[in-house]
Structure 1
């Protein structure tokens, strides 16, 4: 197994709802500029067939950190809230705990969205002075600064370690974008803000969210990046003395609300979305600049990706600006189709990765854990990283990685697809529900299946299900084995939660 002699610093930058076509290096026709994301791509390796484990937020974040598909937990579909029992099980290995146990200082700055428990209940009996539980500090991170979840959920305030910094004692809800002097494209579908002013009591209608008096949505990216740059500067001293760091930076952009900082408005050719993306790219550049300024760039592995594909506004951006967030892929966020989960998947490590490298094999964000374990020379135990494959040989240009097993895709409604080699089998029931933007015609809500040749038809336009029954049979057997064994990697079968799983239309769990 490939190993490296000197442990690198590791940074994971994770954007929110960014499509494959929202990086200039992947889409030269993009209607906004991303020179810093392009820099990661051009100075490292592009995985052209890289996937988030799910088409929505929470499950992808679970899988990134644990190397395990989230549908093995109680979360069979959808996402979690801000406040509640955490999804990551006590004692489960994460990238952070692995590295913490192997000499790294570990930090997270950004959006969690795996739930954490706050004292009291919504709207009453809150004790904001009490520590919350189930957050990053309980899962291997030495330091945390960030927010609990997306900005269209509660709780809107900044957190540090296991404490609330400013009690969210006020209330807000989604506010329509109506002032063209502040934000152009006030007619953009679904756009809104969470900006002040706030109110002291919940009103009627809508979903009211707890918010801190000091919270301002348009300053969140700037605030995260400022903390990340400060962290890198401080960690550089210990890094140069033999204690490397791991920094996980899950940003809140370009997820709705598109709360662009005032300094970045009206600078792109794709409306407020393009402006927000260019601000995001600028923040990525500030992080890369901090590595350069502290002499850390050469031996720092920077991983850049997104939690799922672009929000449904992508169709508006196609029609109005001729910008294709999903490139030539079908669908977007929430979908089982490629646009839901094929995302930017970039890595840069100047000391080890040859600039301009490219890998065309299907891989998943679950693979980060095993890859990082290989980098630090630590074997994974049987009950960790059950769906994580080591990509280090691909990074080092030593292997095409053709032994990477099947990748499982998952939609917001909990339905599955399996990808192995050029073949992809979508396993659907009905339209997929009101949340799924790409609908499937069925008869009487019966399950249907779609088989696509992803080499010849990456846009998933020609269903070959009836033409290749032997392929369908083999892929159905493979996904059944992967689900039943509790793992997709070689090793002993592992336990998982089997109840409340109507999406398994082709199999039964005993």
Structure 2
């Protein structure tokens, strides 16, 4: 009888032994926006600084795109998003047949929760999707169309493996549970208050709901992305005489930091801190926008107060400022406290890491690799690999210390990323053999994508301005 009982309980006992996984994904947070990065003195992130001190800080953390939706598609699937035809925001939604981390973990007994900004459903700029799936819809303006709410909901997290969801950017959330932790009929709900605090509450409620089972939480803070807020009480920690956009952005980042601190406290309170791997990063670099300090009630797509120091460029570029982001990992007892690694890592690595910690078999179609060997022994050298990017009219790759960057099929750069000069010194003429090798590798990777090959277009106005401003390069032609 006892043997039969143990056999019946085996799946539940195995599930209980599996560690929890939390991925915290911020929005437009620049490389310099955490105190532990040691770049800007006016940042206040005491909880995230403690997070880094208790775990691993990766100085070469990368995302797969310098823009929101494609970056999110890469993280949540563990695959280069161009393999599913997503180069930029108009190319979404995420196809429902794509397998997310949540769908990978559900068979292993994981509760899966998504809180905050999803941004992988069809939206007003998804004209190609609308032309195929809703051909009777008429554009409402230049390159915009109204997507029916039912189509948006059909691509929400619940359709991609998330058992629990509290999805929303501002004060409206599509949820199947209350902040008290009680179940509710799936639907929209209005919540007053600072959006970051609300998203923190959604995360805390999910953790409490599943404290006794292994869980995967994907927490997507909508900050410091515009619209900016002088978020109270956090704004009181920053002087009134600083640029208003900087002050607002820092106050929102402090709100994120406060939320992360509350999550860390709850994990300890529930006795599951040592059983929980937490990864903190951002979807792309900061949109600098010439750092114009316009009123926060205007210029919705302007500077969000963030900075990318010391890297060149900004959101939308394949230079480091667009794709190199904060990347912290914490797992007490597993990841040595106070570790720092210069090994390039990617958000593509989160999915294979999740599979390994859950005791699941690796998937051959994933583009990243498990971080566990590095997390357990951060000081050891890791096997070299090549990371790739393609966005708009830019393509890039990094292998070891070398980075290749091409824009508009017109100008090529080669940079030594281990040099203090990094992307301020082009070495393409002094190392032509390295340039050729990386170009060939980049083109071979691009040939596997949808559509295949390097970008065929001409630089758009933003790219022309950026490469003139940051690299003093005049690009030909424009594409819309």
Bin the TM-score by the shorter chain.
Answer: 0.7 to 0.9
Aligned residue in 2 for 1:483: 446
1:368 has 2:350 as partner: yes
User: Deviation digits for residues 139-194 of structure 1, max 9, x if unmatched?
Assistant: 111111112xx66xxxx73112595415xxxxxxxxxxxxxxxxxxxxxxxxxxxx
1:103 has 2:109 as partner: yes
In structure 2, how many angstroms separate the alpha carbons of the residues matched to 1:399 and 1:381? Answer: 27
1:163-242 alignment, distance < 5 Å? 163-166=186-189, 214=190, 219-236=194-211, 238-239=212-213
Aligned residue in 2 for 1:392: 372
In structure 1, how many angstroms separate the alpha carbons of the residues matched to 2:291 and 2:146? Answer: 43
1:234-273 alignment, distance < 5 Å? 234-236=209-211, 238-239=212-213, 244-269=214-239, 270-273=246-249
In structure 2, how many angstroms separate the alpha carbons of the residues matched to 1:223 and 1:306? Answer: 19
In structure 2, how many angstroms separate the alpha carbons of the residues matched to 1:284 and 1:314? Answer: 30
Note if contact 2:64-2:323 (Cα within 8 Å) is conserved in structure 1. yes
Where structure 2 has 5 or more consecutive residues not aligned to the other structure, the ranges are 1-15, 125-133, 177-184, 240-245, 294-304, 460-480
Q: How many angstroms does 1:88 deviate by?
A: 2.4
Aligned residue in 2 for 1:498: 452
SS of 1:302's equivalent?
strand
Distance 1:226 1:484, change over 3 A: same
Note if contact 1:23-1:34 (Cα within 8 Å) is conserved in structure 2. yes
Distance 1:313 1:463, change over 3 A: same
In structure 2, how many angstroms separate the alpha carbons of the residues matched to 1:293 and 1:504? Answer: 55
Where structure 1 has 5 or more consecutive residues not aligned to the other structure, the ranges are 167-213, 318-322, 430-445, 487-495, 506-510
Q: How many angstroms does 1:451 deviate by?
A: 0.5
SS of 2:251's equivalent?
helix
1:326 has 2:308 as partner: yes
User: Deviation digits for residues 236-278 of structure 1, max 9, x if unmatched?
Assistant: 1x23xxxx00000000000011124332233225522222221
Note if contact 2:352-2:363 (Cα within 8 Å) is conserved in structure 1. no
Q: How many angstroms does 1:129 deviate by?
A: 8.2
Note if contact 2:388-2:397 (Cα within 8 Å) is conserved in structure 1. yes
1:423 has 2:402 as partner: yes
Note if contact 2:197-2:255 (Cα within 8 Å) is conserved in structure 1. no
Aligned residue in 1 for 2:89: 79
In structure 2, how many angstroms separate the alpha carbons of the residues matched to 1:310 and 1:117? Answer: 23
1:413-492 alignment, distance < 5 Å? 413-429=392-408, 447-457=410-420, 459-485=422-448
Distance 1:398 1:257, change over 3 A: closer
In structure 2, how many angstroms separate the alpha carbons of the residues matched to 1:129 and 1:63? Answer: 25
Aligned residue in 1 for 2:154: 133
Q: How many angstroms does 1:485 deviate by?
A: 4.1
SS of 1:101's equivalent?
helix
Aligned residue in 1 for 2:298: none
Note if contact 2:285-2:324 (Cα within 8 Å) is conserved in structure 1. yes
Q: Which of residues 136, 151, 159 is equivalent to 2:174?
A: 159
Note if contact 2:27-2:283 (Cα within 8 Å) is conserved in structure 1. yes
Greater helix percent: which structure?
Answer: 2
User: Deviation digits for residues 28-74 of structure 1, max 9, x if unmatched?
Assistant: 54302101111221101111111011111001100001111122233
Q: How many angstroms does 1:466 deviate by?
A: 1.1
Distance 1:407 1:462, change over 3 A: same
Q: How many residues are paired up?
A: 405
Note if contact 1:128-1:164 (Cα within 8 Å) is conserved in structure 2. no
Q: How many angstroms does 1:285 deviate by?
A: 1.2
Distance 1:234 1:456, change over 3 A: same
**Over the residues paired in the alignment, what is the CA RMSD in angstroms?**
3.1
Q: TM-score with structure 1 length normalisation?
A: 0.73
Note if contact 2:18-2:357 (Cα within 8 Å) is conserved in structure 1. yes
1:378 has 2:393 as partner: no
1:345 has 2:327 as partner: yes
